[in-house]
Amino acid sequence: MIDFQSILNAIAKTAANADDRGLIAGYIPELATIDTYKFGIHLIDIEQRNFSAGDSDERFSIQSISKVLSLSMVLGLIGESLWERVNVEPSGDPFNHLSLLEMENGVPRNPLINPGAIVVADILVSLLDNPKEDFLAFVRKLANDRTINFDKKVAASEKVTGFRNYAAANLLKSYGNLVNDVDTVLDFYFHQCSLSMNCNQLANTFFMFINQGKCRKNNIFLTTGQVKRINALMLTCGFYDEAGEFAFEVGLPGKSGVGGGIVALLPNRFCVATWSPGLNDKGNSKLGMLALEKLTTETELSIF
Ligand code: GLN
């Protein structure tokens, strides 16, 4: 059996000694003060054995990782009709770019770039009685953890500086691909991005993606087919214009966030979450990517 714990210990040690740690996402002021020396990693395997190292119990802003959770909730509620409003192709562009959206008449390339996630948020706002509360309840159920919450300060901070997201939402609205008003949808979107979780909680929440749509308590959240699709989207779109590099270096479906978190997984084997707040120039955690490359190289476990 693979000694995951020793491998995680070695990864955390290498991360602690790294000089070049990347840069914090300063465009969300509330995130700008976080210590770049933080590093955490947590792995859960299909038998539900848990392994962790470093700052794996410290909560951080999961940001774009939340897009996978909102997508899961929407797919569970409306199924395939989602694809009438969002495409499933990689964009090759940064997460916040708008040029393709205009060229393609307001249909976002995929649900993991900002415009796509804003359409998903719009659908949830239409479908749910109390969108923020209901989404939070969904995540807590998935995680089997009632302590998970939004970080209202982070949500408020992004609201003040989220000019590009306002531009994206307005563009979507002009093409008729946003039903609710811009402020309501973005208030929901900023809150979903502000979810505060640690590596342990993230890896456990994403367990259903290695377990054919069933959470750790064996409750069914998604069909096997829906899990296949979401995992495919994480592989091809989860790291924006660095999705190719992540597949090349790490070889797993995954999703990053500008809070410095990454979740990656090997279906039927394990799910792993890392956190290191410094980002590379594509907005993905610098040490998180290196850590996951080391993990899949040392264990020889990847989808390839
Ligand atoms: N809330 C962030 C934004 O919309 C999420 C971006 C990310 O994590 N890549 O800009």
pLDDT of residue 26: 87
Q: Select from 261, 303, 298 the least CA-distant residue to 4.
A: 298
Q: pLDDT exceeding 90 applies to what percent of the chain?
A: 97
Query: Where do the CATH 3.40.710.10 domains begin and end in the chain?
Result: 4-63+196-299, 81-194
Provide the terminal-to-terminal Cα distance of the chain, rounded to the nearest Å.
20
pLDDT of residue 131: 98
Q: Is there an atom of ligand 1 within 6 Å of 257 CB?
A: yes
Quick one: average pLDDT of 90-106?
92
For the cut 90, the answer to whether the pLDDT of residue 176 exceeds it is yes
| C-alpha dihedral sign at 132, 56, 158, 230 | negative
Quick one: average pLDDT of 176-197?
98
pLDDT of residue 245: 97
pLDDT of residue 133: 98
Q: Is pTM, for the whole model, over 0.75?
A: yes
CB 258 within 8 A of CB 279: yes
Q: Select from 108, 71, 72, 41 the least CA-distant residue to 290.
A: 41
pLDDT band at 1; cut points 50, 70, 90: confident
For the cut 90, the answer to whether the pLDDT of residue 72 exceeds it is yes
C-alpha 283 to ligand 1 mean position (Å): 9
Q: Is there an atom of ligand 1 within 6 Å of 169 CB?
A: no
Quick one: average pLDDT of 181-208?
98
CATH class of segment(s) 4-63+196-299: alpha beta
Homologous superfamily, domain 81-194:
DD-peptidase/beta-lactamase superfamily (3.40.710.10)
C-alpha 64 to ligand 1 mean position (Å): 5
Q: Is there an atom of ligand 1 within 6 Å of 158 CB?
A: yes
CB 73 within 8 A of CB 29: no
Which of 30, 63, 234 should be mutated for ligand 1, with most atoms under 8 A from CB?
63
Q: Select from 251, 240, 229 the least CA-distant residue to 90.
A: 240
For the cut 90, the answer to whether the pLDDT of residue 16 exceeds it is yes
